Amino acid sequence: MLKRVLVANRGEIALRIIRSLREMDVETVLVYSEPDKNSLPVITANYAVCIGPKEPVNSYLNENAIIETAIHYGCEAIHPGYGFLSENAEFAKKCEENNIIFIGPSHEVIAMMGNKQAARKLMIENNVPVVPGSEDVLESVEEAYECAEKIGYPVLIKASSGGGGKGMRRVYGRDELEKAYLTAKSEAKAAFGDDSVYMEKLIINPRHIELQVLADHYGNVISLGERNCSIQKNNQKLLEEAPAFGVSEATVKKLNDTAILAAKAAGYNSVGTVEFVMDDDENYYFIEMNTRIQVEHPVTEMVTGIDLVRWQIRVAAGMKLAMDKAEVKGHSIECRINALTSGVITNLHIPSGYGVRVETHLFTGYEITPFYDPMIAKVIVYGDTRLEAVRRLRRVLEELVIEGVKTNEEFMHILTYQKDFIRGYYDTSFYQKNEKNINQLIKVGKHGA
């Protein structure tokens, strides 16, 4: 087993990883930026090294400084968490070249899956259903017109190197196509340095259903079931559930089989997520594979009892999977708490109790700076049934106290009272449909309990 691992991340996920490593008796070296000096991961790691100023390019994305620190401290592996360098194939390759284990899949797999059009092609070759669309990247606007005529409007133009919803444009008719094609291209160029785009049929108000997979270096792959992550604001997830309520047992089985097929096709050997969009008739289509641990991984851990971060580290260290399947039991919901302003936390109460898990790096006196991701806590609940989980989530959000900064806590609390959420059957149009009503209720202050 590993003796010392470098953690190249910050916030709640750095803490989550440090905690797992500690429980495995592995020492940790954390790299951090100047504004993160007074943070829980810094205090909790065995060693903490400041590698640069606030700008991510000079700190959390500073590949050379991170690798040099790993070598200097004798770390055998680097855990990249999510975001930052976690899906950077070049960095994974550099780790390999320096005899450091990158805790994630091989750089070839990251590169292949990071190019969404290439991933799509691979899935087609392996009989994984993909959204009808272009066979390759679109070379010209004429090609875009031709493809759209073939698959039929509405269509979606997507960046091959896309992520975080950037470089994506919906097109409802021929007259909108040229402008959408050009803006998607320039947005993709600015965000990813790669302006290649492709086309998919726009599925109207689909559910975002994703499958958690876990694979080792010996060809063993298991699927840990599905998550419904359809509550999104600007393509950013706000709340996730496992299992996905209202998907038939037969489709769940098919989804698990498809996820295993996709992971095997990719030659996968770590934790990963296979993402699909699903229509009302439970037709589902591959959209992309994320080659890292995801923000929403805890809901799967809660319903399967499998510690994903621990297993991610174990398989990276060369261990074989000890299980050949995962059983899903009960229901789990994660709610993301985002800071809407920066400032110092003046008062904090983290709820606890049966079926409650809160992943956060906050403490009273901690300063939330504007430089990084605004997510400051994940509230995760577990219940025997979905209803129990929903009621527990409400109770936890009522108990949670975060003072000193504005957060989306009240918004999320009221969200749990919306009809579609209670029903459990909702799609990616949820946010847009409910946002106004929730904000209205916040304004008049007459909600909930």
Footprint on this chain of ligand ADP (rule: CB under 6 A): 131, 156, 162-165, 200, 202-203, 206, 208, 232, 235, 275, 277, 287-288, 428
CB nearer ligand ADP, residue 206 or residue 330: 206
Residue 117 CA from chain centroid, whole number: 20
195 vs 275, which CB is nearer to ligand ADP?
275
Nearer to ligand ADP by Cβ, of 151 and 442: the residue is: 151
- Pairing between β-strand 4-7 and β-strand 77-79 as defined by DSSP bridges: parallel
Burial class (CB within 10 angstroms; exposed 0-12, middle 13-18, buried 19+) of 82: middle
- Distance of alpha carbon 54 from alpha carbon 51, whole angstroms: 10
Report, in Å, the least distance between residue 236 CB and ligand ADP: 8
Beta bridge pairs of residue 33:
52
Kindly state the smallest distance separating residue 169's Cβ from ligand ADP, in Å. Answer: 11
| Nearest Cα residue to 13 out of 368, 360, 362 | 360
Q: Is 176 helix (H, G, I), strand (E, B) or coil?
A: helix
Q: How far is the CB of 114 from ligand ADP (least distance, A)?
A: 10
Going by C-alpha positions, the residue among 87, 112, 120, 283 that lies closest to residue 200 is 120
**With contact defined as beta carbons under 8 Å apart, do 210 and 229 qualify?**
yes
Residue closer to ligand ADP by CB (options 36, 275) is: 275
Nearer to ligand ADP, 164 or 219 (CB): 164
Catalytic residue among 16, 120, 207, 292: 292
CB 242 within 8 A of CB 299: yes
C-beta of residue 242 within 8 angstroms of C-beta of residue 331:
yes
Q: How far is the CB of 405 from ligand ADP (least distance, A)?
A: 26
Residue 288 vs 301, nearer CB to ligand ADP: 288
Query: Which residues contact residue 17 at a Cβ distance below 8 angstroms, ignoring those fewer than 6 apart?
Result: 7, 9, 28, 79, 81, 309
Rg over CA atoms, the chain: 22
Nearer to ligand ADP, 216 or 226 (CB): 226
Distance CA 437, CA 444 (A): 11
Least Cβ distance, residue 188 to ligand ADP (angstroms): 10
Cβ nearer to ligand ADP, comparing 28 with 273? 273
CB of 204 to ligand ADP, least distance (A): 7
Task: Locate all alpha helices (DSSP H) within 210-369, ordered by sequence.
Answer: 249-265, 297-304, 308-316
Residues β-bridged to residue 288: 275
Q: Is 424 helix (H, G, I), strand (E, B) or coil?
A: coil
DSSP state of 62: -
Q: How far apart are CA 269 and CA 221, in angstroms?
A: 8
Tell me whether residue 292 is one of the annotated catalytic residues: yes
CA distance 229 to 259: 16
* Sign of the CA dihedral running 174, 176, 178, 184: negative
Calpha distance 164→397 (Å, rounded): 27
In the complex, least distance from residue 392 CB atom to ligand ADP, rounded to whole angstroms:
26
In whole angstroms, the minimum distance from the beta carbon of 335 to ligand ADP comes to 18
DSSP helix/strand/coil, 57? helix
User: Which amino acids are annotated catalytic?
Assistant: 292
